[in-house]
Amino acid sequence: MLQGPDTRASLIGKLNQPASEEVWMEFVSIYRPLVVRVALAKGLQHADAEDLAQDVFSAVRRSLATFKTRGRGSFRAWLFRITRNLVVNHLTRSKGPVGSGDSQMNQLLMQQPDRQNETATLFDYELRRRQLHVAADRVRSKFEPATWRAFWMTAVEGKSISTVAASLGKAEGAVRMAKCRVFARLQQEAQDLSSLWETEG
């Protein structure tokens, strides 16, 4: 199930071909919200986080050619490296009139490995969230709306099985099992996403 480095190499290779725009669109669609969220979590204002995302993806696009020569490390790690570097750059140099920099952040990032780990942890956490949200978007349409609602209300909103069963007019056992089956499918989808895009090297 896990795909080896070939997959990664071929995907990146594919991404590097101008013809393969679908891959580029999918790539940015999945990871752009992640970059924005991490930037927000690091204290950027919304507009500046959006700006950072733009810088990240134009840099990713520019450096696609150099990725293969960067040695070991997963695609995720590579994306993370770029993200972090750009956050650091962004905070070091003021790139113009927008007052969005903060060199204190930069110092912390540069000097304290703990801080870097913290950002990495944050990034990984947000990555899992993003994967799950993308998976949810994809899986939702594959279930009956009532099944999905049963899952969402119980597993996510934390409502009791009996309440949800009553409100949906379903048996409690059916609600409980709907919850489990959606969850299983969701994890499968997230797993597929992860092995497709972030296979460890």
Partner 1 sequence: MIARIGNEQNQRDRLHYDRETLNDFLHDRLAARTEEVTRHIESCEDCQCLVEDMAEESLSWRDLAELLAEPEGTFVHGCEVSPKSSATKDAAADERSRQAGAASFLEPSGDPESIGRFARYEVKQILGRGGMGIVMRAFDPSLGRHCAVKVLAPELASSAAARQRFSREAKSAAAVVHPHVVPIQTVDEHDGLPYLVMPVVEGPSLQQRVEQDGPLSPIETVRIAAQIAEGLFAAHQQGLVHRDIKPANILLENSVERVQITDFGLARAVDDASMTRSGVIAGTPQYMSPEQAHGDAIDHRSDLFSLGSVMYFMLTGRSPFRAETTMGVLNRIGNDDPRSLREINADVPEWLDAIVMRLLSKNPDQRYQRSSEVAQLLNGWQAHLLDPTRADEPEPQRPTSRRANVTGSGRKIDNKLPWILAAGVFGFFVWAATIIILQTDHGTLRIESQADENLPIVIRKGDEVVDQVSVTREGASIQVKSGIYIVEIAGNVDGFEVQNNAVVIKRGATHVAKIVETKPAGNAQADVIMQTPDRSQPPKLSPFTRMEFQGAQVLVTYRSEQYELLEIDRFAIQDLVKQTQEHFGRSWKKRLSEDLVEVLWKLGHFPGESVHLKLKRLDSGKVVSGEAKMTEANRHVLYRDNAHNQTEGRSVEDSFHTVLAGNTSVKADAVPLDEFLEKLSEQHRIPIILDRNNLKQAGITSNVNVSIEMKNVSLRMVLNIALAKVGCKYEVKNEIIRVFAAPKP
Q: Tell me phi and psi for residue 65, to 5 degrees.
A: -60, -30
Contact status: 21 vs partner 1 (CB under 8 A): yes
Please report, as residue ranges, which positions from 64 to 83 form the binding site for partner 1 (by CB under 8 A). none
Largest CA distance in the chain: 61
83 burial type by CB count under 10 A (0-12 exposed, 13-18 middle, 19+ buried): buried
Q: Shortest distance, CB of residue 69 to partner 1, whole angstroms?
A: 17
Choose among 156, 152, 131, 134: nearest CA to 143: 152
Binding string to partner 1 for residues 120 to 159, with x set by CB under 8 A, is what?
--------xxx-xx--xx--x--------------xxxx-
Contact status: 55 vs partner 1 (CB under 8 A): yes
How many chain residues bind partner 1 (CB under 8 A)? 68
Please report, as residue ranges, which positions from 1 to 20 form the binding site for partner 1 (by CB under 8 A). none
Q: Which of residues 9, 23, 33, 168 is near partner 1 by CB under 8 A?
A: 33
Q: Cα–Cα distance between 24 and 95 in angstroms, integer?
A: 26
Contact status: 118 vs partner 1 (CB under 8 A): no
Contact status: 98 vs partner 1 (CB under 8 A): yes
Q: Shortest distance, CB of residue 163 to partner 1, whole angstroms?
A: 16
DSSP 157: T
Q: What interhelical angle do 21-41 and 46-67 show, nearest 10?
A: 130
Contact status: 173 vs partner 1 (CB under 8 A): yes
Query: How many residues make up the chain in this entry?
Result: 201
Alpha-carbon separation of residue 51 from 44, 45, 125, 188 (angstroms): 10, 10, 22, 33
Q: Shortest distance, CB of residue 193 to partner 1, whole angstroms?
A: 12
43 backbone φψ class: left, alpha, beta (φ>0; ψ -120 to 50) = left
Q: Which of residues 102, 118, 192, 200 is near partner 1 by CB under 8 A?
A: 102
> 5-38 b/e with 16+ CB inside 10 Å = b?
eeebeebbeebeeeeeeebbeebbebbbbbbbbb
Contact status: 166 vs partner 1 (CB under 8 A): no
Site residues for partner 1 per CB under 8 A: 21, 24-25, 28-29, 32-33, 37, 40-41, 43, 45-47, 50-51, 53-55, 57-62, 85-86, 89, 93-95, 97-105, 128-130, 132-133, 136-137, 140, 155-158, 171, 173-174, 176-177, 179-181, 183-188, 190-191
